[in-house]
Amino acid sequence: MGRFYSRTEIVARVEGLTVAHLETYVAANCVVPCNRDGAPAFTEADLARLQLLTELASDFELDEDAAAMVLGLVDQIHGLRRELRALGEALAEEPEETRARIRSRLGATG
């Protein structure tokens, strides 16, 4: 994990992000900073999320609410991908016979 970033540092690092946008995203729970001695502290992952939000706003010309909504969907995709990955890992440990049965079943509904 990298270090923590203050509000000023994060605005300086994310191209196109303003303090006002940051406040909006924090208020919408798009990024949830940690509390460090009473001031917000952001992680590398928060930085990457804010970069994405800023690009959604600029490249797709979305307003902050719409960008936040898209990020919410992205979070759901990652939730699904995690579960799918866990399911895949569990299946990989099953005997070949079980996997073959599931494979043929999935192929049939394809």
Partner 1 sequence: MSEDPYADLGVARTASQDEIKKAYKTIAKESHPDLNPGDAGAEARFKAAASAYDLLKDPEKRARFDAGEIDASGQEQPERRFYREYAEGPEATYHTSRGYEDFGNYSDIFADLFGQRARQSGSRQGGFDPRGFRQGAGGQEAHFEMRGPDERYALEVSFLEAAKGATKRITLPTGATLDVKIPEGLADGQTIRLRGKGGAGFGGGPAGDALVLVHVEPHATFRREGEDIHVELPIGLDEAVLGARIEIPTIDGRVALRIPKGATTGQVMRLRGRGIKKGATHGDQLVTLKIVAPPEVDPGLEEFFRRWRETHAYDPRKGVF
Please report, as ranges, the residues that interact with partner 1 according to CB under 8 A. 1-4, 29, 32-38, 41, 43-45, 48-49, 51-52, 55, 59-60, 70, 72, 74-83, 85-87
Whether the CB-CB separation of 51 and 16 falls below 8 Å is answered with: no
Give the span between the Cα atoms of 105 and 110, in whole angstroms. Answer: 8
Residue nearer to partner 1 on the CB measure, 12 or 80: 80
Q: Smallest distance, Å, CB 50 to partner 1?
A: 9
Give the span between the Cα atoms of 12 and 52, in whole angstroms. Answer: 15
41: which strand partners? 34
**Look-up: residue for tokens 């300086």?**
12
Residue nearer to partner 1 on the CB measure, 20 or 91: 91
Q: Smallest distance, Å, CB 82 to partner 1?
A: 6
